[in-house]
Structure formats: C-alpha cells, structure tokens
Amino acid sequence: MKVLLTGATGYIGRRLKERLIEDENIQLRLFVRNERKVRDKYRDQLEIYEGSTFDRESLRKALEAVDVAYYLIHSMGARGDFEKLDRLSAENFLGACIAENVQRIIYLGGLGRKETASKHLLSRIETGEILSSRPDSIQTIWFRAGIIIGSGSASFEIIRNLVQNLPLMITPRRVHTKTQPISVINVLEYLFQAKDLDTEKNLVVDIGSEQMSFKEMLLRASKIMGLRRILIPVPLLSPRLSSYWLILMTPVSYRIARALVEGLKSETVIQNDNAKRYFPRIFLLSYKDAIKAALADMEKNEVISRWCDSSAEEACDTKDQDRIEAAVFVDKKFYDFGEIPSEIIFASVQSIGGENGWFRYDWLWRLRGSTDKLVGGPGLNRGRRDPLTLRVGDSLDFWKIVDLKKDKRLLLFSQMKAPGKAWLEFSVDDTVLVQTVYFLPKGLWGRLYWYLIKPFYILIFSDLAKGIIKQAKALF
Ligand SMILES: NC(=O)c1ccc[n+]([C@@H]2O[C@H](COP(=O)([O-])OP(=O)(O)OC[C@H]3O[C@@H](n4cnc5c(N)ncnc54)[C@H](OP(=O)(O)O)[C@@H]3O)[C@@H](O)[C@H]2O)c1
C-alpha cells in the first residue's frame, strides 16, 4: 500500500509519521512544504515530495500511485482569510486525489456542532464536508477529535501551565461546558488503523474518552500533578480578556488562545458511536493516564512534536526562509575557541535558550520576550522542545530554526514582532565560532529600530558567544 502523509511537519503528522514508518506493509511518502524539516534519519525509509496544496501540480505528482492519503493540514496560522485558504486547500486536495485514483482520504478535524461552532471549528467542518463530498469517486474517513492531550499539544500546554502557575484561577463561566478529551496516543492509533479499515463507505468517526467539563479537566490535572488549585468562574471575563490572560500565563499565541476560548461556547462531545463500532480493539486511555503519559514524555525528553512546529506566519514553510542575502544590516563577529573540539562548541550552541537560558543577560532576553508577548508575538515562553538537540522547524523561544548543519551551522529566524526580518547565525569554522546578526528593515521605522537596539544587542550577543564557549570549555 502506498500512503501519502500530508501535514507531516505538524503536531499530529510528525507523530503519525513515526507510527507509519514502523509498518512494513506500506510505502510511505510525505508531502511537505519544506523538505529540510524532515530529519535525516528517515531519509532512506520514505519518499519526500515538496509542494503546497495551493500548487496543484505539486499535489498531483505527490499523489501519483497513492492508495491512501492522510489530510492533516490547516491554514489557521496563515495571514489573511484562513477559512478561504482551508476551503481552497481541501478542494485542490480532493480534486487531485480523484484525478490520481486515490482510494481513501483520512482526515482529522474537530469535534462539535455546526450551530454553535467557532470560526475555527466551522472551517474544520467545512474541510471535512468538502473532502467527503464525492463518495461516488473516493472514500473519506473523517475523524473528529476535541481536546487532544499529549506532550507538546496546545491544550496540554495550556492546562499544565495554568495549573503550575496559578494556585487560584479566575475563569470565564463557560468552564462548565462539556468536552471529551482524548490522548494523542489513541488519536494516532485510530488514524493508523483507518488505512486498513474494511469498509468502502464514507465515515464520520467521533473520538474521545471520558466526558467532563473544562473545570473538571483543570482540577483533575492539578490533582495528578500533586497541586491543590481553586477555580472561581466569574461572569465578567470576556473572551478577549480570557485570551489575553491565557497568552500571559501560558506559551500559546493569541490566535490559539482565542480559538480555545471561542471553543468554550459549544460542547465538544461525541455524536456517534462509530469509533466503538469500527475500531472495537482500540482501548481508550483515561484522562488521568493521558496526562501522566504526556508528563512522562516531557520528563524523558521525548517530545516528538509541539503545537508550534508548523510554520504559522510563514517562517520555515518554504525553503527560502534562510535568504540572509536580502539583509541590509549584517554584523559578523569572530570568537576563537582554541583547542575545544568543534562538536562540543556546536553542542553548546545547540543548547541555548528555553530553560537553559541566555547566559548573563537572560533578564534582558526575558524583558524583550515579555514586551513581544504584549504586542502579540510569541515571547520567550515557547521554550524549546528538547534541552539538548534542535531540528529545522523547532521553535526556540521567539526564534524558529530555519537551517541546521550538524557541527557546522545553526540559523535562527526571529518571529518576534519587529519592523523587519532578523536572523541569528552561528557557524563553526575550524577553531573559530562566527556569530552573525542579519537584519532586513521594513521602511524607515525598521532602520530606526536597528540603530535603537544596536547598543543592547552588541552587549547581549557578545555575551552569548562568550557564554557558549565558556560552557563548552566546562564540558571539555
Ligand atoms: N493538535 C490538536 O490538538 C488537534 C485537535 C483536534 C483536531 N486537530 C486536527 O488535526 C489536524 C492536524 O492538526 P495539527 O495540530 O497537527 O496541525 P499543525 O501542527 O498546525 O500542522 C499543520 C501542518 O499542515 C502543513 N500545511 C499547512 N498548510 C499547508 C499547505 N498549504 N500545503 C501543505 N502543507 C501545509 C504544515 O506545514 P508547515 O510545517 O510547513 O507549516 C504542517 O505540517 C487539523 O485538521 C486539526 O484541526 C488537531
């Protein structure tokens, strides 16, 4: 069976890829926007096709000779009208699948009723409807999940951070709304088994574990984490205020926080029993076990994917995000590291940021991160996926990794709100660490901004390079 996986660089797709790769009965092909986001260790085991669902020709090529195609794409992070983009993306995908004689589409969307759905959920429903609209030509299995609990998932990160940071939580009244969370382990099992399902008709399969309110979800999580927490629902907390509160207290962006708060409007509980009927052998993990599994992944540093892996706002979704040649201001500095082996220097480069911090001026980075968060940027609290290693596509505080060449080069692209584009590059050359800052200003204000921040960044970046070498020396 030839299987095409789209969204393979996203939260669900990255995990499903690891599951599918273990299946010897399938040939796996990935459809990605930026090939470099797929780690080298898999290169021999799969085919990689680069393209976008907005480029029909690339889609058609990727779908050639494919039997089953997974659709794990959404445009929520993109600029502009995401509903329109989602519609077009699904239409293109369906058309190309039919043209290439694909037998089955498997799609994962959101749980909830159309009448009370948020804009985000409505778009997910519309995508499912489009993909299922040609049962005469192609079968579609449409899974619908609500809150997904797994290490690095947006919902889990919100729950974990709220519980950890707030002994007393003021919440909107809608925390009484019912939901039916599910472990990401189960989600992957449904998606995995769906490719072999013995039925030819279209299916909508609602998936979820125990029913509970959002309030219960938070209280149960606090118990599992060994913390006593009090929740006070108040009527005055508007969706906007609640979203701002979430972005201050958790790592998620305003866009995700708002989608979640809007989602509180409607119940997200299962509406059919197709999961039991068609997948009777899947054993559902309880909410408690789902939280425990997610926490264990974090403790073992085994977080495969995170909510911020996909390329919201264009960073890294194409190959050319490393076009540093476009920069107007370039500041290059050389730091000799003597006898320390270059791989140790690079290991030290790779460990910057997140909980590892930014050396002496960590407080200045935090200050800049907080101001960024206040104006709608990612700030510093996205942290890092893994304390030691990085990969292209990883978020690292307000940076995104856009290029990584083992022991040679690390290129970070800033996703901070600023009047221009900025990159930070480290390259290891013989016995010298070269650190370069690139800036492409946007208009006059961009140039002014560069000159304004220059004294700070000279201080911060020279300390950063020295800190990296000092840390490497300690490891040597
Ligand atoms: N995660 C959850 O908690 C959750 C819960 C319920 C349902 N779901 C559903 O599960 C599905 C997958 O969600 P996710 O969380 O895994 O999403 P995600 O992390 O945001 O990943 C989206 C993926 O789509 C790719 N993509 C976006 N636009 C594309 C385009 N035009 N052409 C090709 N690829 C494109 C992205 O590539 P880049 O890496 O290049 O950006 C990325 O790989 C969605 O339908 C979502 O509604 C997710």
| Tens of pLDDT, residues 301-330 | 999 999 999 987 667 777 666 678 889 999
Higher pLDDT, 318 or 131: 131
- Domain locations in the chain as residue ranges: 318-475
Quick one: pLDDT band at residue 163, thresholds 50, 70, 90?
A: very high
Global pTM reads 0.94
CA-angle at 405, arms to 404 and 410, nearest 5°: 45
Mean pLDDT of the chain: 93
If one residue of 14, 73, 75 were mutated to test the ligand 1 pocket, choosing by the most ligand atoms within 8 A of its CB, it would be: 73
- The fraction of the chain above a pLDDT of 90, given in percent, is 75
Average pLDDT, integer, range 448-473: 93
Helix axis angle, 214-224 to 154-165, nearest 10° = 70
- The answer as to CATH 3.30.530 being correct for domain 318-475 is yes
Distance 310 CA to ligand 1 centre (A): 7
Distance 74 CA to ligand 1 centre (A): 5
Distance CA 285, CA 183 (A): 6
- The fraction of the chain above a pLDDT of 70, given in percent, is 97
Distance 187 CA to ligand 1 centre (A): 14
**β-pairing verdict for 2-6 and 27-32:** parallel
- Name residues contacting ligand 1 (CB within 6 A): 6-7, 9-13, 33-34, 37, 52-54, 72-75, 89, 108-110, 124, 145, 148, 153-155, 309-311, 317
Q: What is the DSSP letter of 408?
A: T
Q: Atom of ligand 1 at shortest distance to CA of 317? A: 40
pLDDT tens for 396-445 read 999 999 999 999 999 999 999 999 999 999 999 889 999 999 999 999 99
Which residue has the least CA distance to atom 39 on ligand 1? 310
Q: Atom of ligand 1 at shortest distance to CA of 307? A: 19
Average pLDDT, integer, range 241-265: 85
Distance 123 CA to ligand 1 centre (A): 13
Quick one: pLDDT band at residue 254, thresholds 50, 70, 90?
A: confident
Residue corresponding to tokens 């708002």: 258
pLDDT tens for 16-55 read 999 999 999 999 999 999 998 997 778 788 999 999 999 9
If one residue of 85, 108, 160, 190 were mutated to test the ligand 1 pocket, choosing by the most ligand atoms within 8 A of its CB, it would be: 108
